[in-house]
Amino acid sequence: MNAGGPEVAVRERASLGEGPVWDAAAGRLIWVDILSARVHTYDPVSGRRTVMATEQHVGAARPRAGGGLVVNLRDGIGLYGPDLAFSWLVRDPVPGRRGNDAAVAPDGALWAGTMRYDEAPGGGSLTRIAPDGTTMREATAAVSNGTGWSPDGRLMYYADSPTRRIDVFDVAGARVLNRRAWVRIEEPAGYPDGLTVDAEGCVWVALWDGAAIRRYTPDGRLDRIVALPVRRPTACAFGGAGLRDLYVTTARTGLARPHPLSGSLLVLPDAGQGLPGTPFGG
């Protein structure tokens, strides 16, 4: 494991960069700028980038099994085909609410979070969306954020950022049960945002207003802190050859004097060993 610091993968001025995910079929990283309504892709081998505008604020974009993307938008869950033709899978507009982070479970279902623009407690939720569009709401939240699964699929980790906690659920088929606090982030260290789980079952979490990425072992012990030059890292995901590089999205929104790299996509080369992702089954 390389203990070195971050490098710049994509120099960008994203307002609210979020949701990195490795698209293994295409050999590229996908990430979004929520408030600019943009989906970005980056191929670390060729350096090729693309940027696609969406019609609404986009909280997350994830690969689909048949090609294209599933997106967590302001008014619900949308689908882009391989030709980028758009359709709604679940349309559920609520004034003052938008989609936020989302992740695909090992069974191919999408777990999509929402939040109110004013971040009111209980104004958001975490919902499971099956490939056929069937929904099950599993938790309420203020700012629904990072979601990830243990390597054996028996545990699901989840962060509702204002609580300063990462919680854990037991996975029981399509449902999750027995929610309990797993890790508490002390007040000076920031807020837990997006997270990912590595092949050892350790949880890596971006700390909003904490200028760092942390790794916690499966028993909840903090075993690594990576300091970052930016104040607001938002999420992290393994990608690249062998899933060894940890990519980190960042934000500049709300900062009076953001660091020059705020809004860029950073990378920690050879940070660890990621888990293969699952594309959305719909």
Q: Which residues are identified as catalytic? A: 193
The three-class DSSP label of residue 161 is helix
The partner residues of 119 in beta bridges, in order of sequence, read none
Q: Which two tokens stand for residue 94?
A: 């609520």
CA distance 216 to 204: 6
Tell the burial category of 22 from Cβ atoms under 10 Å away from its Cβ (0-12, 13-18, 19+): buried
CA angle in degrees (0–180, nearest 5) for 73-74-78: 30
Give dist(CA 10, CA 47) in Å, integer: 9
> Could you tell me if 268 and 245 are in contact, meaning their C-beta atoms sit under 8 angstroms apart?
yes
DSSP string, 233-260: EEEEEEESGGG-EEEEEEB-TT-SS--T
Q: Which two three-digit tokens encode residue 16?
A: 């609210």
